Amino acid sequence: MKTQTINFGFWKKIREKAAGLKRPIFVLAPLANVTDAAFRQIIAKYSRMGEPDGGPDVIWTEFVSADGLCSPGREVLLRDLAYSKGEHPIVAQLFTAHPEKMREAAALCAQLGFDGVDINMGCPDRSVEKQCAGAAMIKDPKTARKIIEAAREGAGTVPVSVKTRIGYNKNEINTWIRFLLGLQLPVLTVHLRTRKEMSEVPAHWGLMPEIIRLRDEVQAAIPVNERTIIIGNGDVMNLEDARAKISTNAGLDGSLAADGVMFGRAIFGNPWLFDERRNKIGTGANISIPTISERLNACLEHTELFEKLLGDVKSFAIMKKHYKAYVSGWDGAKELRIKLMETENAAQVGAIIENVLLELDRPRERV
Protein backbone atom coordinates (compact mmCIF):
# COMPACT_ATOMS: atom_id res chain seq x y z
CA MET A 1 0.00 0.00 0.00
CA LYS A 2 1.23 3.48 -0.81
CA THR A 3 1.66 6.26 1.70
CA GLN A 4 -1.37 7.51 3.64
CA THR A 5 -4.12 8.92 1.42
CA ILE A 6 -7.06 8.71 3.80
CA ASN A 7 -9.22 11.84 3.90
CA PHE A 8 -10.00 12.24 7.61
CA GLY A 9 -11.32 15.77 7.46
CA PHE A 10 -12.73 16.74 10.87
CA TRP A 11 -12.12 13.20 12.18
CA LYS A 12 -8.45 14.02 12.72
CA LYS A 13 -9.36 16.51 15.44
CA ILE A 14 -11.89 14.10 16.94
CA ARG A 15 -9.23 11.40 17.23
CA GLU A 16 -6.73 13.84 18.77
CA LYS A 17 -9.31 15.10 21.27
CA ALA A 18 -10.19 11.58 22.44
CA ALA A 19 -6.52 10.67 22.74
CA GLY A 20 -5.89 13.81 24.80
CA LEU A 21 -8.72 12.88 27.16
CA LYS A 22 -7.47 9.28 27.25
CA ARG A 23 -10.84 7.88 26.31
CA PRO A 24 -12.61 6.39 23.26
CA ILE A 25 -14.50 8.46 20.73
CA PHE A 26 -18.20 8.52 21.72
CA VAL A 27 -20.78 9.00 18.94
CA LEU A 28 -24.56 9.01 18.51
CA ALA A 29 -26.05 6.33 16.25
CA PRO A 30 -28.33 7.00 13.28
CA LEU A 31 -31.72 5.64 14.38
CA ALA A 32 -34.68 5.90 12.02
CA ASN A 33 -37.55 7.93 13.50
CA VAL A 34 -35.55 8.39 16.70
CA THR A 35 -32.52 10.64 16.17
CA ASP A 36 -34.53 13.15 14.18
CA ALA A 37 -33.90 16.89 14.15
CA ALA A 38 -35.81 17.41 17.40
CA PHE A 39 -34.17 14.66 19.46
CA ARG A 40 -30.69 15.56 18.21
CA GLN A 41 -31.14 19.10 19.47
CA ILE A 42 -32.31 17.78 22.85
CA ILE A 43 -29.31 15.45 23.10
CA ALA A 44 -26.86 18.19 22.14
CA LYS A 45 -28.35 20.47 24.80
CA TYR A 46 -28.69 18.06 27.72
CA SER A 47 -25.41 16.23 27.09
CA ARG A 48 -23.68 19.62 26.73
CA MET A 49 -22.20 18.81 23.34
CA GLY A 50 -19.04 20.79 22.65
CA GLU A 51 -18.49 21.67 26.32
CA PRO A 52 -15.87 20.17 28.67
CA ASP A 53 -16.87 16.62 29.70
CA GLY A 54 -19.87 16.91 27.39
CA GLY A 55 -20.72 14.99 24.28
CA PRO A 56 -21.27 13.19 22.00
CA ASP A 57 -18.09 13.77 20.01
CA VAL A 58 -20.02 13.31 16.75
CA ILE A 59 -23.72 13.09 15.87
CA TRP A 60 -25.21 11.05 13.01
CA THR A 61 -28.50 11.92 11.34
CA GLU A 62 -31.20 9.37 10.66
CA PHE A 63 -30.39 7.41 7.53
CA VAL A 64 -31.85 9.10 4.47
CA SER A 65 -32.53 7.75 0.99
CA ALA A 66 -30.12 9.20 -1.55
CA ASP A 67 -32.65 8.28 -4.25
CA GLY A 68 -35.30 10.32 -2.45
CA LEU A 69 -32.97 13.30 -2.11
CA CYS A 70 -32.58 13.25 -5.89
CA SER A 71 -36.34 13.17 -6.51
CA PRO A 72 -38.88 16.01 -6.91
CA GLY A 73 -40.26 15.22 -3.44
CA ARG A 74 -36.98 15.71 -1.64
CA GLU A 75 -38.22 18.69 0.41
CA VAL A 76 -39.76 16.36 3.00
CA LEU A 77 -36.59 14.27 3.25
CA LEU A 78 -34.52 17.41 3.70
CA ARG A 79 -36.30 17.82 7.04
CA ASP A 80 -34.47 14.68 8.18
CA LEU A 81 -31.21 16.45 7.39
CA ALA A 82 -32.07 19.65 9.25
CA TYR A 83 -29.66 20.38 12.08
CA SER A 84 -28.85 23.13 14.56
CA LYS A 85 -25.60 25.03 15.09
CA GLY A 86 -24.97 23.17 18.35
CA GLU A 87 -24.87 19.76 16.65
CA HIS A 88 -21.49 20.10 14.96
CA PRO A 89 -19.68 17.94 14.10
CA ILE A 90 -22.54 16.13 12.38
CA VAL A 91 -22.52 13.34 9.79
CA ALA A 92 -25.30 12.75 7.26
CA GLN A 93 -26.05 9.08 6.69
CA LEU A 94 -27.28 8.00 3.26
CA PHE A 95 -28.29 4.77 1.56
CA THR A 96 -28.76 3.71 -2.05
CA ALA A 97 -27.63 1.12 -4.58
CA HIS A 98 -27.24 3.71 -7.35
CA PRO A 99 -23.82 5.39 -7.61
CA GLU A 100 -25.16 8.36 -9.56
CA LYS A 101 -27.76 9.05 -6.85
CA MET A 102 -25.14 8.73 -4.12
CA ARG A 103 -22.87 11.18 -5.95
CA GLU A 104 -25.63 13.76 -6.18
CA ALA A 105 -26.85 13.26 -2.61
CA ALA A 106 -23.32 13.42 -1.16
CA ALA A 107 -22.72 16.68 -3.02
CA LEU A 108 -25.96 18.04 -1.56
CA CYS A 109 -24.86 17.10 1.98
CA ALA A 110 -21.54 18.87 1.44
CA GLN A 111 -23.43 21.96 0.28
CA LEU A 112 -25.65 21.78 3.37
CA GLY A 113 -22.56 22.05 5.55
CA PHE A 114 -22.31 18.54 6.96
CA ASP A 115 -18.94 17.63 8.43
CA GLY A 116 -19.07 14.10 7.06
CA VAL A 117 -21.10 11.68 4.94
CA ASP A 118 -21.69 8.11 6.08
CA ILE A 119 -23.01 5.24 3.95
CA ASN A 120 -25.42 2.76 5.51
CA MET A 121 -24.30 -0.76 4.55
CA GLY A 122 -25.86 -2.60 7.46
CA CYS A 123 -29.56 -1.77 7.81
CA PRO A 124 -31.60 -5.02 7.83
CA ASP A 125 -34.92 -3.34 7.01
CA ARG A 126 -36.60 -5.32 4.23
CA SER A 127 -37.76 -2.25 2.34
CA VAL A 128 -34.19 -0.97 2.25
CA GLU A 129 -32.78 -4.34 1.20
CA LYS A 130 -35.32 -4.63 -1.60
CA GLN A 131 -33.60 -1.56 -3.03
CA CYS A 132 -30.32 -3.55 -2.86
CA ALA A 133 -29.08 -1.10 -0.22
CA GLY A 134 -28.31 -1.31 3.49
CA ALA A 135 -27.21 -4.80 4.55
CA ALA A 136 -27.69 -6.03 0.96
CA MET A 137 -24.41 -4.26 0.16
CA ILE A 138 -22.58 -6.95 2.15
CA LYS A 139 -23.48 -9.42 -0.60
CA ASP A 140 -22.38 -7.06 -3.39
CA PRO A 141 -18.87 -5.64 -2.76
CA LYS A 142 -18.55 -4.56 -6.39
CA THR A 143 -21.50 -2.17 -6.09
CA ALA A 144 -20.44 -1.17 -2.59
CA ARG A 145 -17.10 0.03 -3.97
CA LYS A 146 -18.87 2.05 -6.67
CA ILE A 147 -21.16 3.62 -4.06
CA ILE A 148 -18.21 4.65 -1.90
CA GLU A 149 -16.31 6.06 -4.87
CA ALA A 150 -19.38 8.00 -6.01
CA ALA A 151 -19.90 9.42 -2.52
CA ARG A 152 -16.29 10.62 -2.46
CA GLU A 153 -16.68 12.27 -5.85
CA GLY A 154 -19.82 14.06 -4.71
CA ALA A 155 -18.66 15.00 -1.22
CA GLY A 156 -15.36 16.50 -2.36
CA THR A 157 -13.23 17.31 0.69
CA VAL A 158 -15.92 16.09 3.12
CA PRO A 159 -14.85 12.67 4.51
CA VAL A 160 -16.90 9.60 3.60
CA SER A 161 -17.31 6.74 6.09
CA VAL A 162 -19.29 3.48 6.28
CA LYS A 163 -21.46 1.77 8.90
CA THR A 164 -21.97 -1.97 8.44
CA ARG A 165 -22.24 -5.37 10.17
CA ILE A 166 -19.79 -8.25 10.63
CA GLY A 167 -21.49 -10.21 7.87
CA TYR A 168 -24.79 -11.17 6.29
CA ASN A 169 -25.62 -14.74 7.34
CA LYS A 170 -22.31 -15.48 9.06
CA ASN A 171 -19.10 -13.91 10.29
CA GLU A 172 -17.47 -12.35 7.21
CA ILE A 173 -14.86 -10.21 8.93
CA ASN A 174 -11.98 -11.66 6.94
CA THR A 175 -13.70 -10.97 3.63
CA TRP A 176 -16.23 -8.14 3.91
CA ILE A 177 -14.52 -6.07 6.61
CA ARG A 178 -11.13 -6.71 5.00
CA PHE A 179 -12.55 -5.42 1.72
CA LEU A 180 -13.80 -2.20 3.34
CA LEU A 181 -10.53 -1.61 5.18
CA GLY A 182 -8.74 -1.83 1.87
CA LEU A 183 -10.73 1.17 0.65
CA GLN A 184 -8.98 3.46 3.15
CA LEU A 185 -12.07 4.83 4.85
CA PRO A 186 -11.49 7.44 7.56
CA VAL A 187 -14.02 5.70 9.80
CA LEU A 188 -15.63 2.27 9.78
CA THR A 189 -18.44 1.64 12.25
CA VAL A 190 -19.15 -2.04 12.83
CA HIS A 191 -22.39 -3.28 14.36
CA LEU A 192 -21.12 -6.46 15.97
CA ARG A 193 -23.86 -8.78 14.71
CA THR A 194 -24.68 -10.30 11.35
CA ARG A 195 -27.70 -9.21 9.36
CA LYS A 196 -29.30 -12.61 10.09
CA GLU A 197 -28.89 -12.10 13.83
CA MET A 198 -30.62 -8.70 13.73
CA SER A 199 -30.57 -7.66 17.42
CA GLU A 200 -31.71 -11.03 18.73
CA VAL A 201 -28.34 -12.12 20.16
CA PRO A 202 -25.76 -10.23 22.25
CA ALA A 203 -23.35 -8.14 20.20
CA HIS A 204 -20.07 -9.98 19.58
CA TRP A 205 -17.67 -7.54 21.22
CA GLY A 206 -15.16 -10.37 21.52
CA LEU A 207 -14.61 -10.08 17.76
CA MET A 208 -13.43 -6.50 17.91
CA PRO A 209 -9.73 -7.30 18.53
CA GLU A 210 -9.81 -9.39 15.35
CA ILE A 211 -11.11 -6.38 13.42
CA ILE A 212 -8.40 -4.16 14.87
CA ARG A 213 -5.69 -6.70 14.01
CA LEU A 214 -7.09 -6.97 10.49
CA ARG A 215 -7.03 -3.20 10.07
CA ASP A 216 -3.40 -3.07 11.18
CA GLU A 217 -2.55 -5.86 8.76
CA VAL A 218 -4.34 -4.35 5.76
CA GLN A 219 -3.05 -0.85 6.50
CA ALA A 220 0.45 -1.81 7.66
CA ALA A 221 2.01 0.76 5.31
CA ILE A 222 0.08 3.58 6.98
CA PRO A 223 1.32 5.17 10.24
CA VAL A 224 -0.56 3.79 13.26
CA ASN A 225 -2.34 7.04 14.13
CA GLU A 226 -3.42 7.57 10.53
CA ARG A 227 -5.23 4.29 9.99
CA THR A 228 -9.00 3.87 9.72
CA ILE A 229 -10.82 4.74 12.94
CA ILE A 230 -12.82 1.70 14.09
CA ILE A 231 -16.04 2.32 16.01
CA GLY A 232 -17.92 -0.53 17.67
CA ASN A 233 -21.70 -0.65 17.99
CA GLY A 234 -24.16 -2.90 19.81
CA ASP A 235 -25.60 -3.33 23.33
CA VAL A 236 -23.75 -0.43 24.94
CA MET A 237 -25.78 0.88 27.87
CA ASN A 238 -23.78 3.88 29.15
CA LEU A 239 -20.33 5.49 29.11
CA GLU A 240 -18.99 3.17 31.78
CA ASP A 241 -20.26 0.12 29.92
CA ALA A 242 -18.57 1.42 26.76
CA ARG A 243 -15.24 1.69 28.54
CA ALA A 244 -15.70 -1.77 30.02
CA LYS A 245 -16.43 -3.36 26.64
CA ILE A 246 -13.37 -2.00 24.92
CA SER A 247 -11.15 -2.71 27.94
CA THR A 248 -12.39 -6.24 28.57
CA ASN A 249 -11.94 -7.11 24.92
CA ALA A 250 -8.60 -5.35 24.57
CA GLY A 251 -5.85 -6.86 22.46
CA LEU A 252 -2.93 -8.84 23.86
CA ASP A 253 -0.73 -5.77 23.50
CA GLY A 254 -3.07 -3.81 25.77
CA SER A 255 -4.57 -1.77 22.94
CA LEU A 256 -8.25 -0.94 23.27
CA ALA A 257 -10.75 -3.12 21.45
CA ALA A 258 -11.95 -0.14 19.40
CA ASP A 259 -11.14 3.49 18.74
CA GLY A 260 -14.69 4.53 19.50
CA VAL A 261 -18.15 3.45 20.59
CA MET A 262 -21.52 4.22 19.00
CA PHE A 263 -24.59 4.49 21.25
CA GLY A 264 -28.06 3.61 19.96
CA ARG A 265 -30.87 2.32 22.14
CA ALA A 266 -29.21 3.58 25.33
CA ILE A 267 -30.14 7.13 24.37
CA PHE A 268 -33.90 6.55 24.76
CA GLY A 269 -35.23 8.72 27.58
CA ASN A 270 -31.70 9.74 28.51
CA PRO A 271 -30.48 12.82 26.61
CA TRP A 272 -27.94 13.26 29.45
CA LEU A 273 -26.16 10.05 28.36
CA PHE A 274 -23.01 11.73 27.03
CA ASP A 275 -22.59 14.17 29.94
CA GLU A 276 -19.57 12.81 31.84
CA ARG A 277 -20.38 15.03 34.83
CA ARG A 278 -23.48 12.95 35.43
CA ASN A 279 -21.37 9.90 36.17
CA LYS A 280 -18.52 8.82 38.40
CA ILE A 281 -16.67 6.90 35.74
CA GLY A 282 -15.22 3.65 37.03
CA THR A 283 -17.34 3.37 40.18
CA GLY A 284 -20.76 2.54 38.78
CA ALA A 285 -22.28 5.32 40.90
CA ASN A 286 -24.08 8.36 39.57
CA ILE A 287 -23.25 11.84 40.79
CA SER A 288 -26.51 13.30 39.57
CA ILE A 289 -29.18 10.97 38.28
CA PRO A 290 -31.81 13.08 36.48
CA THR A 291 -34.74 13.73 38.80
CA ILE A 292 -38.33 12.96 37.88
CA SER A 293 -38.90 16.67 37.29
CA GLU A 294 -35.87 16.91 35.03
CA ARG A 295 -37.00 13.92 32.99
CA LEU A 296 -40.52 15.24 32.61
CA ASN A 297 -39.33 18.72 31.65
CA ALA A 298 -36.99 17.24 29.03
CA CYS A 299 -39.81 15.03 27.76
CA LEU A 300 -42.09 18.03 27.35
CA GLU A 301 -39.39 20.14 25.69
CA HIS A 302 -38.66 17.26 23.31
CA THR A 303 -42.36 16.92 22.47
CA GLU A 304 -42.82 20.63 21.79
CA LEU A 305 -39.70 20.75 19.62
CA PHE A 306 -40.82 17.68 17.67
CA GLU A 307 -44.19 19.29 16.94
CA LYS A 308 -42.54 22.59 15.96
CA LEU A 309 -39.93 21.09 13.63
CA LEU A 310 -41.63 17.97 12.30
CA GLY A 311 -45.28 18.07 13.25
CA ASP A 312 -46.39 18.76 9.70
CA VAL A 313 -44.44 15.87 8.14
CA LYS A 314 -44.24 13.15 10.80
CA SER A 315 -46.84 11.34 12.86
CA PHE A 316 -47.14 12.40 16.49
CA ALA A 317 -47.11 8.68 17.32
CA ILE A 318 -43.33 8.71 16.77
CA MET A 319 -42.96 10.66 20.01
CA LYS A 320 -44.73 7.98 22.01
CA LYS A 321 -41.83 5.53 21.79
CA HIS A 322 -39.87 8.11 23.79
CA TYR A 323 -42.52 8.34 26.52
CA LYS A 324 -41.91 4.71 27.44
CA ALA A 325 -38.32 5.62 28.28
CA TYR A 326 -38.73 9.09 29.77
CA VAL A 327 -41.49 7.94 32.12
CA SER A 328 -40.38 4.85 34.01
CA GLY A 329 -38.82 3.78 37.27
CA TRP A 330 -40.96 5.50 39.88
CA ASP A 331 -44.32 5.04 41.60
CA GLY A 332 -47.08 6.30 39.35
CA ALA A 333 -44.94 6.21 36.19
CA LYS A 334 -47.09 3.52 34.57
CA GLU A 335 -50.30 5.49 35.05
CA LEU A 336 -48.67 8.65 33.70
CA ARG A 337 -47.32 6.74 30.72
CA ILE A 338 -50.80 5.46 29.87
CA LYS A 339 -52.12 9.03 29.84
CA LEU A 340 -49.29 10.25 27.62
CA MET A 341 -49.82 7.40 25.17
CA GLU A 342 -53.38 8.65 24.63
CA THR A 343 -52.34 12.19 23.69
CA GLU A 344 -52.50 13.62 20.19
CA ASN A 345 -50.44 16.80 20.43
CA ALA A 346 -47.92 18.72 22.51
CA ALA A 347 -50.57 20.84 24.23
CA GLN A 348 -52.19 17.74 25.70
CA VAL A 349 -48.83 16.40 26.82
CA GLY A 350 -47.99 19.74 28.37
CA ALA A 351 -51.21 19.88 30.38
CA ILE A 352 -50.62 16.38 31.79
CA ILE A 353 -46.96 16.91 32.64
CA GLU A 354 -47.50 20.35 34.16
CA ASN A 355 -50.08 18.90 36.54
CA VAL A 356 -47.63 16.21 37.60
CA LEU A 357 -44.85 18.78 38.09
CA LEU A 358 -47.13 20.89 40.28
CA GLU A 359 -47.89 17.83 42.39
CA LEU A 360 -44.19 17.01 42.74
CA ASP A 361 -43.44 20.56 43.92
CA ARG A 362 -46.28 20.58 46.43
CA PRO A 363 -45.03 20.16 50.04
CA ARG A 364 -46.06 16.82 51.53
CA GLU A 365 -48.31 16.92 54.58
CA ARG A 366 -46.83 15.67 57.82
CA VAL A 367 -48.48 12.62 59.37
CA separation for the pair 245, 59 (Å, rounded): 21
Partnered with residue 260 across adjacent β-strands are 25, 231
Flag whether pLDDT at 253 surpasses 90.
Answer: no
CA separation for the pair 60, 342 (Å, rounded): 31
What pLDDT is attached to residue 11? 98
Tell me which H or E stretch contains 323.
Answer: helix 317-326
Q: Taking residues 62-81, report their average pLDDT.
A: 93
What pLDDT is attached to residue 252? 54
Return all residues near 239 (Cβ < 8 A) that are at least 6 apart.
26, 273, 274, 276, 279, 281
Q: What is the DSSP pairing of strand 58-65 with strand 25-28? A: parallel
3-state secondary structure of 279: strand
Sign of the dihedral defined by the CA atoms of residues 80, 81, 85, 90, in that order: positive
Q: Say what the alpha-carbon torsion angle 84, 87, 90, 96 is, to the nearest 10 degrees.
A: -50
HSE toward the beta carbon, residue 237, CA cutoff 13 A? 5
What pLDDT is attached to residue 251? 57
Per-residue confidence at 288, pLDDT binned at 50, 70, 90? Answer: low
Flag whether pLDDT at 221 surpasses 60.
Answer: yes
Q: Taking residues 76-85, report their average pLDDT.
A: 93
> Lowest-confidence range among 19-33, 65-79, 122-136, 239-253?
239-253
Q: Contact at 8 Å (CB) between 240 and 248?
A: no
Q: What is the DSSP letter of 92?
A: E
Question: What backbone phi and psi angles, to 5 degrees, belong to 271?
Answer: -70, -5
Q: What is the DSSP pairing of strand 25-28 with strand 187-194? A: unpaired
What pLDDT is attached to residue 366? 43
What pLDDT is attached to residue 1? 38
CA separation for the pair 184, 8 (Å, rounded): 10
What pLDDT is attached to residue 289? 79
What pLDDT is attached to residue 350? 97
3-state secondary structure of 63: strand
Q: What is the DSSP letter of 289?
A: P
Per-residue confidence at 359, pLDDT binned at 50, 70, 90? Answer: confident
Portion of the chain with pLDDT greater than 70, in percent: 92
Residue 132 a catalytic site member: no
- The model's pLDDT over 155-214, given as tens digits with 9 standing for 90+, comes to 999 999 999 999 999 999 999 999 999 999 999 999 999 999 998 899 999 999 999 999
- CATH superfamily, domain 11-278, is Aldolase class I (3.20.20.70)
- The amino acid at residue 259 is D
Q: Contact at 8 Å (CB) between 341 and 323?
A: yes
The beta strand positions in 159-293, using DSSP E, are 160-167, 187-194, 229-233, 260-263
Flag whether pLDDT at 63 surpasses 60.
Answer: yes
Q: Taking residues 232-236, report their average pLDDT.
A: 96
Partnered with residue 79 across adjacent β-strands are none
Domain regions of the chain by residue span? 11-278, 292-361
Single out the catalytic residue among 109, 123, 132, 299: 123
Per-residue confidence at 344, pLDDT binned at 50, 70, 90? Answer: very high
CB atoms under 10 Å from CB of 200, counted, come to 7
CA 172 vs. chain centroid, Å, equals 23
Tell me which H or E stretch contains 151.
Answer: helix 141-155
CA separation for the pair 127, 136 (Å, rounded): 11
Give the CA distances from residue 280 to residues 13, 240, 277, 283, in Å, rounded to whole numbers and listed in that order.
26, 9, 7, 6
CA separation for the pair 51, 283 (Å, rounded): 23
Q: Taking residues 16-20, report their average pLDDT.
A: 93
